[in-house]
Amino acid sequence: MEISIDNLIKFYTNESVVLKGINTNLKNGITGLIGPNGAGKSTLIKILVGLEKVSSGHIHYLDHSEPSFNLKASLGYVPQNFQLPNNLTGEEFLDFMSTAKGIGYRTAKQNSLQLLDLLNLTQVARKRISTYSGGMKQRLGIAQSLLNHPKLLILDESTVGLDPDERLNLKHIMTELAENTVILLSTHIVSDIESVANHIIILDQGEIQVQGNTDALLKTIDGKVWELTVSPEEYQNKQQEYFIINTFHKQNKIEMRVISKKQPKDEANLIYPTLEDLYLYHIRYKKANREKQVAL
């Protein structure tokens, strides 16, 4: 399975351009789509699942195992802020969604039982959704997306509301599916995809800032992330001089993590970057540098 997106543009009648020439390929595996709120992530997803039309450009869905590709039959999707019918039980909801997806009764029942167990919902399967916690509702939404064994699975901010154990369980599920499924995980919480995504797309203001293999992208900023300890007085100076990722106050000192092309001070330690470092480098650090250049 492969999805090819060629020069995709989306604008609305008020002339606001939401997506500006998106070019990418999605293949079997886990792609992390990350970017700040308002970057265009949800709009891109709505286009991919057929809920919105493109203004220009093309999307090609290539399934080499079947001569004709049926998007509805092949899609699993959990939209952002997914609304569930509170008057149904979890089991009834999965039955309803199975019917909507055209899944036969016997297969649907078998799939539902397996997914309720997989998402740790068996104990509440016959309780009304109105009694569910936010995390339970999120997991039920994920369960319905897997009913038809999708070839394309899209999860939009689906880790919100999950506790650490359930986030870990979801990562295990995604890893199991990745070999035979195109999985797109959209989030603004970078840590949710750091250990599972083999491909990353960073989107901001409707444009792809960078994309590629996760490890290869991290190597592009290797040598630019440092940790150092400074006094409160030094910290004030460093704020103007370097891009600070985060700080930690320890007794009368401040531990800093910074992005810099040169060593901030002799005692600074070079560290291997994380996905959050990569994200901040492309979303905030480069923008801050451009603004400095304009100011000069």
Residues 46-56 pLDDT 10s: 999 999 999 99
What tokens appear for 172 in the block? Answer: 């295990």
Asked whether the beta carbons of 26 and 59 are under 8 A apart, the reply is: no
Ramachandran angles phi, psi of 202, nearest 5° = -105, 120
Instruction: Tell me the residue type at 97.
Output: M
Ramachandran angles phi, psi of 84, nearest 5° = -110, 150
Cα gap 136→125, rounded to integer Å: 10
Instruction: Tell me the residue type at 53.
Output: K
State the DSSP code for 285.
Answer: I
pLDDT of residue 291: 58
Asked whether the beta carbons of 197 and 32 are under 8 A apart, the reply is: yes
Asked whether the beta carbons of 73 and 23 are under 8 A apart, the reply is: no
Residues 38-75 pLDDT 10s: 899 999 999 999 999 999 999 999 876 666 678 888 99
> Smallest Cα–Cα separation from 8: which of 282, 201, 154?
201
pLDDT of residue 147: 98
Classify burial at 20, counting beta carbons within 10 Å of its beta carbon; exposed 0-12, middle 13-18, buried 19 or more: middle
Query: Domains in the chain, start-ordered, CATH in brackets?
Result: 2-213 (3.40.50.300), 219-295 (no CATH)
> Smallest Cα–Cα separation from 95: which of 147, 131, 173, 158?
147
pLDDT of residue 294: 40
What tokens appear for 200 in the block? Answer: 């990353």
Asked whether the beta carbons of 112 and 94 are under 8 A apart, the reply is: yes
Lowest mean pLDDT among 152-156, 170-174, 234-238: 234-238
pLDDT of residue 179: 93
